[in-house]
Amino acid sequence: MCDKIQEGNEKYNDSRAIVEKSGCAGPHDTLELCLNKHKDWRKCQVEVVELAKCMRVTGIAQQESRR
């Protein structure tokens, strides 16, 4: 989980619910772990791509962009 967003925080809970509903919780959590470890998006590109693929497959990216 992100250092600045804690469980129990309303924004975290809302985001977590969207991630879980999308079916992409696994790739999302893997990306979060990578980002917490490296603190650098450039070192987590494999994880970013995997999450993006999952979101495309489930259609969640398009759904969220329409809001």
The Cα 23–Cα 55 span in angstroms is: 8
Question: How confident is the model over 10-62, as pLDDT tens digits?
Answer: 777 788 888 888 899 999 999 999 999 999 999 999 999 999 999 898 876 55
Q: Is 50 exposed, middle or buried (0-12, 13-18, 19+ CB in 10 A)?
A: middle
pTM across the whole model: 0.69
